[in-house]
Structure 1
Amino acid sequence: MTSGWEAALSGASSPSWTERVRAGRDLASFADVPEAAEVLVGLLLDVEDTAVTRQTAKALARVGTVAAVRLIALAVVEADGNQADWMQTGVHDGLMGSDGGPDVAAACVKLARDRDEAVRRGASEISAWTDGTRC
């Protein structure tokens, strides 16, 4: 019998988009774990189905930690225009009806000072998505 963690990691490489969506949701709370972080960035940049991108971004925005928002920032700078649009939609979905907005905005402020220039650029873009607040 596999654990939920192992099942989520396995589901991330499934040919089924619904399994990949489930994996993104299940792994979002582990954004600070390097193995999960790598998989989550891959799910954000899913080339087969935009639902995976959107739902993973939504889950990470709902988590709202610096580690979770950092993954979105890393992915958005690598994303094509379509993927970036779906990440933005996912972040908006994650903030709707929740009090996660301030957490994402606070994470962007911290990420604006990250050593990695790509993270700083991505955080700035995410910040623009969240009520126009700039990092």
Structure 2
Amino acid sequence: MMSGVEVALDGASSPSWSQRVRAGHDLASFSDVPEAAKALVGLLLDVEDTAVTRQTAEALARVGTVAAVRLIALALAEADDSHADWMQTGVHDVLAGPDSVPDVAAVCVQLARDGEAAVRQGAAEILAWAGGVTH
């Protein structure tokens, strides 16, 4: 019997966009697990459907851990303008929502000291997004 993470990893490569969206949501809380992290970056950069990009970014921002936000920052380094826009929309969906959300800006400040230049650059971009949202 497969674990929840294994099922979600399997869903991340599904031909169905809705299954990939579900996988992004299910894997977000496992963003510190290397296999999940790799799949999540792939979902953020999904070549077939930007709904997967948006929903995965939203799920990661809602988790709001350093590991989760770091994946958005990493994916931004490889993203084209369309994917970057949909990641921004997903993050905004969380930040502008009525629910209590993690302090994504504080996480980005931590990521500004990351050893990887792409993460530092992506974190700066996400921090700029977070600064433009008011509750």
Q: What is the TM-score of this pair, normalised by structure 2?
A: 0.94
Amino acid at match of 2:98: G
User: Which structure 1 residue ranges, 4+ long, deviate > 3 Å from structure 2?
Assistant: none
Distance 2:18 2:85 in 1: 20
Unpaired runs of 5+ residues, structure 2, are: none
Q: Following the alignment from structure 2 to structure 1, what is the Cα–Cα distance between the partners of residues 98 and 54? A: 17
Q: Does residue 100 of structure 1 match 2:101?
A: yes
Shift, 1:3, TM fit: 2.1
Residue 12 of structure 1, CA deviation: 0.1
Q: Percent identity?
A: 74
Normalization by structure 1: what TM-score? Answer: 0.94
Which residue does 1:55 correspond to in 2? 55
* Partner of residue 114, structure 1: 114
1:79 aligns with 2:79: yes
Equivalence for 1:10: 10
Gap regions ≥5 residues in structure 1? none
How far, CA to CA, are the matches of 1:125 and 1:8 in structure 2? 28
Deviations 1:45-75 (A, max 9, x none): 0010000000000000000000000000000
Shift of 1:2: 2.3
Alignment coverage as a number of residue pairs: 132
* RMSD of aligned alpha carbons: 1.2
> Quick one: which amino acid aligns to residue 109 of structure 1?
V
The Cα shift of 1:25 comes to: 0.1
1:132 Cα shift? 4.0
Shift of 1:38: 0.5
Alignment-mate amino acid for residue 93 of structure 1: D
Shift of 1:94: 1.9
Letter of the 1:66 counterpart = V
